[in-house]
Structure 1
Amino acid sequence: MEKINSRTIEDNMPKSSSLPSWLFGWESFLFATAVCVFIINSFASPYFLDPWSLSDATFNFTEKAIIALPLALVIIVREIDISVASIIALSSTAMGFTAEVTDSLALICVSGMIVGTICGAINGLLVTKLNIPSIVVTIGTMSLFRGVTYILLGDEALKNYPESFSYFGQGYVFSVFSFEFITFLMLAVIFYFLLQKSNFGRRTYAIGNNPTAAYYSGVNVAKHKLILFTLVGFFCGVAAIMLTSRLGSTRPTIALGWELSIITMVVLGGVSILGGSGTIVGVVISIFLMGLVTVGLGLINVPGIVMSIVIGLMLISVIALPKIFKRIKNK
């Protein structure tokens, strides 16, 4: 069952469209919107266009963006993971306790990635081996992982990190670009080729379009989904390294409420919650758009709770509008 019928699933890959279709596509709309928001932000504050200000603004979204890349693949195969923020918290906790007993930068980082990978694998095993819906599984593990974090830390904050650890979340490359941002761009390129140009991506689209047909075409559906959930967990560990490094401490509330923002990045980028469609390019554009919106709201001193409302409205709109337009068209 390992051999893939490439002709059968080739049709599930996105096809290149004509120029007029591309111009009126969702990605083009997102890009145009991002440009408009960028222009508005430049008028909102005279400091916005400063290279250092733009670079520092990327700290608002890069850790979330790193998780959004693998999560896009999970949603394409008709699954979801809303435990990502709790995995970050547990991974950060593992790093905090590791830093209490050793100054080894490698061990501290590896401990976070291992815990994140294990958490992702647990989600994947529960979904694929027990056939429990992923939304049910990850609601449960969201509470489980966060609860374990609270039990281990209580009200305590772990801060005994070596000085060199701060580079991952506060360091710069080429003097102006943050290390986090460069890492995100590199991962975006890797995920683009993984999803759009490889057999792995073809299997992902095939499963999202029709899991049964993909299975009979030779795709090991359960194994593929397990890999994707594990991949999300691993990159939650990577994001935990950067977030913990940037904050300089581990707290039980770290990354609290990030699930909504990360899922919105993916869905806003054109990844269908019904599975089978979406691109990394769209997700990347939506990430920059959300980053620009967040920065713009910050420039006019909008409270954080209002930002959450805006993000929630964006998520509802991107899901509801296509259905509304379809109903209007059918009348």
Structure 2
Amino acid sequence: MKEHDFFKQQENFKKMISQMNTKDAMQYLIHMRLFKDEEDCIQHLKRFSNVEDAMKELFSKDCMFPGFDEEYSMINKHQMLDSILTLACRSDKLPYRYFDNISEDCSFLNGDYEYEESNWYLAHEMLPSFIDQIEQTCTYFHYDTIDDLKYLYATDLLSYYLCYIEAYETENKTDMELLKRIKKMFPKQKIPSFKNMKLKQIDTMILEASMQETSYGNDGYYDETTKSFYTDDDMMYMDIDEEDEIYRIELDKKEILKRFIDRLNPNRYDTDYLYNCFYGRKAFRNCKDAFRKYNILKDYECYEQNEITLACIGWCIKYGYSYKDLQVDIKQLKR
């Protein structure tokens, strides 16, 4: 197949998927001759908790992709089938919420944040919205360990939540109820005790300002002994006592820039061009110019601010400070 034809079909497939709804996806699977009708498709999907498992036996079957070249379809069979099945799995005719759908909503967990504790915070804030769906799916498939959810972000959601409880949380009614539900779902799971520590206080406005000023190779510092913030330049001229409690404040904002580009829809924006800007010289200036051209500069600035605040919260959890004055709009972080 000629390279031009290959990329043209690839773009056609992306466009088809972007315009498909759940019913369209099921009808396409029927036209592929994988199922007799919609009911046959539903019965197949009911047997599996994620797209990968639902696809395994289908992948071995001979099938056709209407509208696409046989050679292209053969080369891209896994990716094409995965995309179509992912849409089909969102049907409200399934008696539970697919873990893949939960994973999609939680895909920014494990986002390589500067502080792992940022993931713990996100999981703590998000779990109440997903606990019902997790319970329904675990009950339907008779899952009784968190390991049964392997390879899915639902695993991270639960694991990070438990880390938060053990490392930071004070006993409260809401979390006690969630822990009871987790224990009931996963009876062999060790449930941690609440940390119940007295949190230290810090000026979160200055912490955010210090985090805002950091960049790769240019860190900030907080001296717990003097309750003071410092920069790399300040530290060069200071006599540091070994007994001083000094905590580094670090954040690579270029990673934030990359995560923002990663979450953009390639059907709406020329992401190849944006990645060229990112990996070239003057990455921030060039990317911001491109964002301005696409009218999404304000979206980026909002996203960056939420990531900076999230880093501050992760820092506070790591070092045992209260972050009660900090708030993150989690919806802004989703990919």
Higher RCO, 1 vs 2 (CA within 8 Å, ≥6 residues apart): 1
Greater helix share, structure number: 1
- Which of these two proteins has the greater Rg computed from alpha carbons? 2
Instruction: Tell me if TM exceeds 0.5.
Output: no
TM range (shorter): under 0.3
TM-score, structure 1 as length reference: 0.24
TM-score, structure 2 as length reference: 0.24
